[in-house]
Chains A and B, each alone.
Chain A
Amino acid sequence: MGNKNLKKKRKEEIARNELVEQELKKSDLVQKQQVKLLILGAGDSGKSTLLKQMQILYKDGFSKEDKQLYRNVIRTNIITYIKILLKGVQMLDLKLHKSNEKIAEDFLNLPDIIDSFTPNSILASKQLWNDPAMKMSFEKRAQFQLADSAGYFLDNIDRIASENYKPSDQDILNCRISTTGVKVVEFLVNNQPWKVVDVGGQRSERKKWIHHFDDTTLLIYVVAVNEYDQKLFEDNTTNRLHESLKLFETTANNQFLSNKNCVILFNKTDLFKDKIQKVNFNKCFEDFKGSNNYEEVIKFIKTLFVKAGKNTKRSIFVHYSCATNTNEIRFVFDAVQSTILENILKEQGFM
C-alpha cells in the first residue's frame, strides 16, 4: 500500500511541476509581447485626448452610453464657461451691454449641473456670448482659467442645444474631463497587446505616477505648446510651460525611466499658431532671442526639452501634433509602433 501511495504522490508532483512550468512560460510570453506605454505630462496638456484617439483608432469608437455622458458634460461645461467668462468681465472691469447686465446676474447664480441647462439659460448664454465685452474677456482668457475648447463649444451652441443632439467624435475629442488617479486601458494594435497608462496631470496627482513606472517600454510626454502665456490651474503664479519643462526634467531622469526611450509630443499646435501672432513668446521666455515666428519658436522649445532629457542610454523622438486631429495622431502612433519595434530589435542585439 505504501508504495502505491508514494507512486501516486510522485505522479501528482510531476504533474504539478509541469503546470508550474507552463504557467511560467505563459507569463513570460505575455510579458514579452506586452507593450506598456506611459502617457505623462502636466495638467490639461491633452493626455486623455490621446487615449480617446486610440479608442477611435484601435477600438470601435465611443458607445451610446459614452455619448450620453459626453453630451451632459458638454452641456454643463457651456454653463461653466459662460460663468468663467462673466467673472473675467468683472475682473477686467469691462462693461456688458445694459440689457445683458441683469441676465448676467441671474446667470452667475446658476449651479454647474445639467439641470440648469434649460431653454432660458441657452438663450441667455447665446446673448451673452455675442456681447463684445464677453469677446474681449475671451481674448484675454490667459489671465484666468478657461479650457482651450471653450471657443469651439460656444460657437456651436445652437447645435448642442438641439433636442436630438448627439456629440460627434470631434465634440468628444474637444470635451475636457479632468482625470484623477491612474487609469490603465488595454488595446490590441496589430495583434500586439498594448497597455496604455493615462494619468492626472495636476500636482496633487503626480505622486501616483510612480506606481506604474516599472516595466515601461516607452514614455510619451505630452506638452501643450500654446500655454506659454498661461498660469497653472493649481497655482496662479507659475507659468505652465516652465512647469512642464521642469516636470519633464524630473520624470525623464527618474531612475526607472532614465534608460527608456521617449517620445515628446508637442500638442495643440493649431492653437499655438494662432496665439504666436498675438502674444510675444519673448514675454515668457526671456532667453529666446529669435524672431516671433512659429518655426523658430518651436525649434527653441524642442531644443529646451531635448536638452532636459538627453541621455546616452536613450533616444528621444519629437512629434508635432494637434491631438483632436485623428489623422495626425494616427501618423504619430505609426511612428510609435516603429520605435517600439526598433526597441525590441535593439534589445535582442540585432541593431
Chain B
Amino acid sequence: MNQDLVFSSSILNQKRNRISQHFSHLRQQHQFQQQYQPKFQKLHQHQRSLTARELKPKETNQNNVKIIVFENDLDDDDDKSENQNPKENPKENSKENQNKIKNEEFPSPKKITQNSPQKNDQLIRSKIFPIRKSLSQVSTVEQNQPFFNQEKKLKEKAKKSKKKNKNKNKNKNKKRKSVQNQNQNQNQNQNQNQMKQKKKINIENENKISSKFTRIIQKRKQKKLQKQKKSQKKELNEEEYSRLKEKYFSNFSEFLFVKNSTIYFRSFLQTEYSEENIDFWQEVENFRKIEIGQSKIGMNEYALKIFQQFVKTGSPKEINIDFKERAKISERVRNQNFDLQMFDSAQESICRLMENDCFVRFQISDFGKRFLNENFDLMD
C-alpha cells in the first residue's frame, strides 16, 4: 500500500527532526542529573546534618518563637539542672498549663503545650531582648551543654524502666511515657507550687511579648491561607464557574475594563489572528485620555499614528470597518481636523464585532477559564 504517498516526506522529516531534538534535549538533562545527583545528595545530607545540629536544642525545647527569648538567661548556670529534663515534661502539667494559658489569649494552644513549666520560671528573670541577641546566645548554650548527653541519659533511664516493667516496646514515644511516669510524681508537686506563685507575673510578661509575636504569627497564617487558596484555584466547581461567568462575561464593555482582562483576551485573539481589534480598542482608549490643554501637537501625532496603523487601507493592522467610517476618519485626517471623539464610532463597531464573534469563543476557551481562575480571589 502506498499510504505514505498521502503525505509528503518533507513534512514527516520535519516532524521527526523536531521530536528527535526534543528527546536529545531530554537526554542531556538526564545525563546532567545522573552526573550531579550524587554530589547534590551528599551536599544535602551535609546541610541537613548541619541544620540538625543547630536546630535540635531549639526544636526539642520548643518550636515556638517565644522560646528564643526564654533562652536569654540560659547563660546563668543556675538553671542547668532544670534544662536537663526538657523531654520529661509531664503531660498532666502541660495540660493544666494549656487551660490556664488559654484564658490568657494565646494564639495557638498546641505551641504552648511545648512550654515546660521550668521554662516559665525563667520568665520571671527574663526581660524582652531583641531576637538577634538571643540567637547568638543559643549557639553559646550548645557549646556549654552538648545536647547528645541529654539523650544518652534519657536512654539509660528508659532501659531501666524497661527492665522493671519487662515490656519490650520499641517505640520511642512509649519509652518517653515510661520516663514521664517515673518523674511525674517528683515534678508535679514542685511545678504546681511554682506555677501558683508565678502565674500572675507570667501573664504580664507574656502579654508584652505576645503583642510582638502575634503579628509575626498572623502574617504566617495569612501566607498559609494564600497558599491554600492558590491550591484551591484549580478545583473550581461548576457552580462557581457559572457565578464567575455571570459576573464577568455578562457585559462585554464592562469586561474590557476588568484588571488583566485584555491581556487574556488578546492572547486568545492571537490564536485566531485577530488581535488588531483589541489593539485598536486599547489605542483609542489611550487616545481619549490625552488632555488637549497640554499639547495639541501630541494629540495630532497620536491620531495620525492610529490612522496609519489601523485605519488606512493596506495598513499593517487594518481593522474590519465599514467604508463609511473609514472615509469619515480619513477625511478628518486629510483636513487636519483632529478630535478626541474621532475614533469613537469605529471603536464601537469593532467592539460589537468582538462581542458577537470572538468573545463568545473566548468564554469557552482555556484563556477564558484561566482568566476566571485568576479573578477568583477578587470575588470576595
Contact = CB atoms under 8 A, between A and B. Distances in A.
Given A112-B352, A347-B6, A179 B360 contact: no
B356 A205 contact: no
B378 interface: no
Nearest to A16: B23
Interface string B342-362: 000000100011101110110
Interface string B317-358: 011111110100000000000000000000010001110111
Contacts, number: 87
Given A183-B272, A203-B313, A233-B323, 14 more contacts: A20-B19, A20-B23, A24-B19, A28-B12, A32-B7, A112-B348, A177-B356, A178-B353, A180-B274, A180-B277, A181-B272, A182-B274, A208-B274, A236-B324
Interface of B: 1-3, 5-7, 11-12, 15-16, 19-20, 23, 26-27, 30, 34, 269, 272-274, 277, 313, 318-324, 326, 348, 352-354, 356-358, 360-361
Contacts of B7: 28, 31-32
A202 interface: yes
A27 interface: yes
Contacts of B269: 181
Nearest to B253: A113
Given A20-B19, A182-B273, A233 B2 contact: no
Interface of A: 5, 12-13, 16, 20, 23-24, 27-28, 31-32, 66, 69, 73, 112, 145, 177-183, 200, 202-205, 208, 211, 215, 232-236, 344, 347-349
Contacts of B27: 13, 16
10 contacts: A24-B19, A69-B356, A73-B356, A181-B269, A182-B272, A204-B318, A204-B320, A236-B324, A348-B2, A348-B6
Secondary structure at chain B's binding surface: helix, strand, loop or mixed? helix
A348 B277 contact: no
A180 B20 CA distance: 37
A145 B327 CA distance: 15
Nearest to A349: B2
Contacts of B1: 348
A58 to B, nearest CB: 18
A235 B323 contact: yes
A234 B19 contact: no
A180 B5 contact: no
A112 B356 CA distance: 13
Nearest to A73: B356
Contacts of B272: 180-183
A180 B16 contact: no
Nearest to B275: A181
